[in-house]
Amino acid sequence: MPKAKYFQKLSRGSLRCNLCPHYCELAEGERGKCGVRKNIDGKLLAENYGLISSVHLDPIEKKPLYHYYPSASILSVGSVGCNLSCSFCQNCDISQTTVDDYPWLRQHTVEQVLAYNDQYSDNIGIAYTYNEPTVYFEFMMDLAAESKKQGLKNVMVSNGYIAAEPLREVLELIDAFNIDLKAFNNEFYKKFADARLNPVKENLKTVRMAGKHLEITNLIIPGLNDDEKEFEEMIKWIYNELGEYTVLHLSRYFPAYRLQYPPTPQETISRLFEISKSHLPYTYTGNLNFSPGQHTLCHQCGTLLIERKNGYLTKIKAIDDKGKCLTCKTRILKYVKP
Ligand code: SF4
Ligand code: SF4
């Protein structure tokens, strides 16, 4: 089990993990909030290193990334653990567990994961996803370094809850991000995720400033984060701090884990979709069959550029190999499939 990065020794065998803004202080034998980093003999160990819970070839739209090599496939890997504990987690079986309590993990080396690519000729790279990749930081970084050498892309699907220094390291290897912005309300983060909003906002700005591809997901939960005023405040913040063409996915909530509210009404999503679209032209909807929220239309001339069905069935309609709209020649996408 390899030694984890980003920790400092404290007194009497205890230590502090500096990987994420929880900065857990761990006595000998204790695990952090993420459940997968443990103090053994005064050293922090990455218990889930190389332990894979799932590996699949997925459409990139499933991450979701809609403006990054649309219609491409990506090898998606995950482990166990998460530094957040969202009451509504859809992946709680792998996020809210430990390596001891999840018997289906399979040990992999970096080379073994990369070998899956031999089966998939149209794969553009590796997505670190399913559980929170920050908590398998060391394996993600080792894998990302090797995959980059092979000319593959690296994608991180994250809650954005990582400390500044490891994020700088991540930015050297990860090409594209989908980051959750769960609500624009610190109380929500505290009560439903045991975290804070501010580090996520700061990290979104850092990723944007670094020039990496960034898309955001906001899961809409009825009565918890669907207040129109608060939602519009979030949209304006995205517009001002991250830019008008930031891609935003509004996702419909379904009951999961500890939160058993009824699913978000479709009307709520379509109302918030309209508010968002009036500021951010590249707003999409997910987890529901709402056609206007699936397609990509040129923000300049309104041409249908990319048609999507059920979110993942993607047809490129009117975009050239440089990512420009075929009608008005405006550059829409930076990354298109060769
Ligand atoms: S990564 Fe885990 S152990 Fe480290 S600070 Fe975050 S929750 Fe705590
Ligand atoms: S951050 Fe994601 S994986 Fe972690 S608990 Fe929340 S929803 Fe689940």
Task: For the chain, list residues with pLDDT below 70.
Answer: 311, 338
34 lines ligand 1 (CB under 6 A): yes
Report the nearest atom of ligand 2 relative to the CA of 131: 3
23 lines ligand 1 (CB under 6 A): yes
Q: Model confidence over 11-64: pLDDT tens digits?
A: 999 999 999 999 999 999 999 999 999 999 999 999 999 999 999 999 999 999
22 lines ligand 1 (CB under 6 A): yes
Identify the residue whose C-alpha is closest to ligand 1 atom 5. 23
Q: Which domains, ranges and CATH numbers included, belong to the chain?
A: 7-46 (no CATH), 51-293 (3.20.20.70), 295-338 (no CATH)
Report the nearest atom of ligand 2 relative to the CA of 82: 4
38 lines ligand 1 (CB under 6 A): no
Q: What is the pLDDT of residue 64?
A: 97
Q: For strand 123-128 and strand 73-78, is the pairing parallel, antiparallel, or unpaired?
A: parallel
Nearest ligand atom owner, CA of 95 = 2
